Amino acid sequence: MSDGIFIGLGAPDKNGGIPQTLNLRRANRHGLIAGATGTGKTVTLQGIAESFSALGVPVFLADVKGDLSGISMAGSPTAKNADKLVARAKEIGLENYSYADNPAIFWDLYGEQGHPIRTTVSEMGPLLLSRLMDLNETQEGVLSIAFKYADEEGLLLLDLGDLQAMLAYCAENADSLSARYGNVTKASVGAIQRQLLQLESQGGAHFFGEPALDIHDMLKVDEKGRGYVNVLAADKLMQSPKLYATFLLWLLSELFETLPEVGDPDKPVLVFFFDEAHLLFDDAPKALTDKIEQVVRLIRSKGVGVYFVTQNPIDIPEDVAGQLGNRVQHALRAFTPRDQKAIKAAAETFRVNPDLNVETAIIELKVGEALVSLLQEDGSPGIVQRTLIAPPRSRLGPVDAKERAIIQSISPCAGKYDATLDRESAEEILAARGQAAAAAAQASKAQAEADKAAAEQAKIEARQREAQLKEQARQEAAAAREAARPSGFDRAIQSATRSAASTVGRQVANELGRAVFGGSSRKSSGGIAGQLVRGILGSLFK
């Protein structure tokens, strides 16, 4: 196996041109390919990527302009500029130059030009999401609480719908969650939801879901031992910079967490090429930039190399640029003060070559020519050399729809990710709970209303029974009184009896009075004693 990748032929010395070779054992120390539009960055990227593939190293590259898909097809002698490629190969001594294809797998977050790439919200985690959405400390804490509660309750957070449902639940139950985990406010939840809506508007719904990408599917080699070139269709994706940054940061983080420590292997486990790298950093919050810098610094020990491709080297933050050991600098234009600053900055990053004025050379470079400085076997940077870049062997230009479809059909991942999987997760479970709670509340309300109506009816019936009993008692009392009252005949008899008794009593009294007191009946009856006797006898006969 070759111990390096031939980048091109450097300026001649007394023994001829100096080959510029990328040492495979130092290829995981990352790199930078920079230069103005039209200076040959994409061709350089393609040539290096296909060389990695040929040596059994899987490659991932973001195809921002759509032309890198041609790496899957062999070049052609009838293609545009084919004669220039052949001439360049001859000029730098590539005697065995021939056209060749490369095994490729097409990917697309939108699922239009390749296999969909998805991950779940849970796999992304609250920390990465917080940094991507530039949440403050309080909001990040609330998001962590939402993840914690979901984990404890067995609520799967798979897509953005699940996370939105979880946040809505947190807002509705802020008091109980605050007592259990810490302060949760509706204002903080609302701020997170607004940030999620921005991410969703850029196509985040396509990225979050299942089946989630198995990172090992990007580490495959074909039956010939060549590493697969994973081509991400990014021409549409680059219009959504937040989603682009989300995906790339997740992918690097996933690799860092999944792959074992290998130090400096004989060759990289995987090599990334991020075209239009400024999209990762434009308007990015410092927390996100710090995270990228941390991953780039640490992922080297996992055997992963990261190469940024951008127009201007100052597009890359200093902390990140400081990790890029292998550098290929194409021409820059000194049209503006910013361009002049970039030229000076680029020149100062190279190891000095006493025979080369770097600042002057940068603006004089021709198309397909670059200033190259690569790490040597001992890890030190090589002296910068003005270099003619080796031509690629694959097609320069995009594949057509038919060719893409054929490559898709023979992909080792064909059918694995194309259909969306929608398992029961937090959104469905919380919705079911909400419906059950609403139904229970409705049933409770209906039962309460029924109980109230039954109680009112019972009161009415009680009042009616009470009235009936009172009426019955009144009627019984009246009947009793009526029954106790004597009839007309009885009253007549009683009256006659009393009258008779009164008459008899008076007669008896008169007779007794005469007998006792003597004298005529009239006189004696008028006496005091006679009156007394009559009174007594009258009383007895009543």
Structure confidence by residue, pLDDT tens digits, 220-253: 999 999 999 999 998 888 888 778 877 888 888 8
In single-letter form, the type of residue at position 407 comes to I
170 has pLDDT over 90: yes
Phi/psi at 104 (5° precision): -135, 150
Phi/psi at 351 (5° precision): -70, 130
Alpha carbon distances (Å) from 10 to 36, 91, 370? 21, 12, 9
1 has pLDDT over 50: no
Angstrom distance (rounded) from CA 233 to CA 111: 9
CB distance 330 to 34 below 8 Å: yes
Q: How far is CA 528 from the centre of its chain?
A: 126
User: What are 382-417's pLDDT values in tens digits?
Assistant: 999 999 999 999 999 999 999 999 999 999 999 999
Question: Regarding predicted confidence, which is higher, 463 or 12?
Answer: 463
User: What are 36-59's pLDDT values in tens digits?
Assistant: 989 999 999 999 999 999 999 999
Which token pair is 347? 């020149």
Alpha carbon distances (Å) from 183 to 128, 130, 196, 204? 21, 17, 21, 28
Q: How far is CA 351 from the centre of its chain?
A: 46
- When pLDDT is averaged across residues 139-150 and rounded to a whole number, the result is 94
Cα Rg, the chain, nearest whole Å? 52
- Specify the 3-state DSSP secondary structure of 400: coil
**Quick one: what percent of the chain has pLDDT higher than 70?**
88
- When pLDDT is averaged across residues 168-185 and rounded to a whole number, the result is 92
Sheet strands (E) in 288-390: 304-310, 326-329, 369-373, 385-389
Angstrom distance (rounded) from CA 32 to CA 44: 11
Confidence of residue 540 (pLDDT cuts 50, 70, 90): low
Question: Regarding predicted confidence, which is higher, 204 or 9?
Answer: 9
521 has pLDDT over 90: no
Helix (H) or strand (E) holding 16: strand 16-23
Q: What is the residue-averaged pLDDT of the chain? A: 87
CB distance 214 to 230 below 8 Å: no
What order do you get walking across the sheet with 4-13 strand by strand?
16-23, 4-13, 385-389, 369-373, 326-329, 31-34, 304-310, 270-274, 59-63, 229-233, 104-107
Angstrom distance (rounded) from CA 126 to CA 30: 28
> What angle do the packed helices 121-132 and 241-258 form, to 10 degrees?
120
- By CB neighbour count within 10 A (0-12 exposed, 13-18 middle, 19+ buried), where does 447 fall? exposed
H and E: helices and strands count for the chain:
19, 11
Helix (H) or strand (E) holding 19: strand 16-23
483 has pLDDT over 80: yes
